[in-house]
Amino acid sequence: MTPDFHELKKGGFIKQQGPGLFLMRLRTIGGHLTARDLENLAKVATEYGRGEVHLTTRQGVEIPGVRLEDYQALIEEIKALNLLPGACGPRVRSIVACPGKEVCPNGVLDTREMTREIDRAFFGREVPVKFKIAVAACFNACTKPRENDVGLQGIVYPELVAERCRLCGLCQSICPGGAIKIIDEKVTINRQKCYGDGACIASCPTSAWVEAARGFVVFVGGKMGRNPRLGYKMFDFVPEDEVIPLIDSILTVFEQKRKGQERLADTVKRLGPELFRQLVSFPGPGEALRKANMAR
């Protein structure tokens, strides 16, 4: 029986160079693998491939040198070992993420939980062309959110509990945007200059700076490849619980407005970022941001 290559591709099984050889693409959730996963990957790569793997640019793992006749057994073993098949072709690809605040000292958001939710909601969804999502936990943007169709960049806005402040001046010295100034023995913050990196909150010796609002900057319409383009900063502040409905709406608008095989970057450019933004359903930055006096 001739295999349905289109169906195989959906599950991350891809024809490679060489007669009769395929590679099995597996995904991770934001690049996270347990030691046991690595042991299982080694086992599967030795048993079904040629004892090696390739780490993909989207934090996945590819096992080259798999034979077509072994596909069924391999996919069953992958399922049994709780490894996750990847995807190829016109669908939402694996979600890329940095380690987030659980590990990285600069991280201001939990990227692992966010990435898990995004993966659960969108991974493998059929779209006209490939669709890539990346999550970064802070404004250092290590996962390059602007190079993706949708990119999230963690942001946290601070608030001062004045009675705890001892005017040591540390926050003024380390604030990367120069937003914090001590004037006449009073700490002031220029909200327009705040990068939302949370350095003041993390460093304040007396915990006078506290978190007032936490969410993501969302970039839309980035891509790499032959005609690379950086995504537009389309939403200044999206609370964590609004991320899934927002991405869903972006995907829906893209599906409705795209022409031919264009990527989201081309659709956004053709319509203009402001019109595209207006078509997307987003209730706004929410009460948290207004309370933090951050509304722009």
Partner 1 sequence: MAEIRATKRLDITGDCCPITFVKTKLALEEMQPGEILEVLLAEGEPLNNVPRSLKFEGHKIHQVRKVGPNIYSLLVERGEDQ
**Is residue 38 within the footprint of partner 1 (CB under 8 A)?**
no
What DSSP state is assigned to residue 129?
A: S
Residues between 93 and 112 with contacts to partner 1, criterion CB under 8 A: 105
What torsion, rounded to 10 degrees, do the Cα atoms 246, 92, 29, 3 define? Answer: 160
Q: Could you give the string, one character per residue 198-237, with x where binding to partner 1 holds by CB under 8 A and - elsewhere?
A: -x--xxxx--------------------------------
Contact 253, 171 (CB under 8 A): no
**Is residue 142 within the footprint of partner 1 (CB under 8 A)?**
no
**Is residue 168 within the footprint of partner 1 (CB under 8 A)?**
yes
At 118, give phi and psi (nearest 5°).
Answer: -65, -40
Nearer to partner 1, 20 or 169 (CB): 169
Contact 50, 81 (CB under 8 A): no
**136 is written with which tokens?**
């970064």
d(CA 60, CA 202): 32
Which distant-in-sequence residues (6+ apart) come within 8 Å of 17 by Cβ?
none
In the complex, minimum distance from the CB of residue 174 to partner 1, in angstroms, rounded to a whole number: 5
Best CA proximity match to 152, nearest among 115, 127, 196, 125: 115
In the complex, minimum distance from the CB of residue 292 to partner 1, in angstroms, rounded to a whole number: 21
Nearer to partner 1, 18 or 105 (CB): 105
- Residue appearing with tokens 């599967």: 44
Among 3, 20, 51, 169, binds partner 1 (CB under 8 A): 169
Among 82, 173, 190, 293, binds partner 1 (CB under 8 A): 173
d(CA 176, CA 196): 10
Nearer to partner 1, 205 or 228 (CB): 205
Among left, alpha and beta (phi > 0; psi -120 to 50; other), residue 262 is beta
Residues between 181 and 200 with contacts to partner 1, criterion CB under 8 A: 199
Nearer to partner 1, 134 or 199 (CB): 199
The residues that touch partner 1, with contacts defined as CB under 8 A, are 105, 166, 168-170, 173-174, 199, 202-205
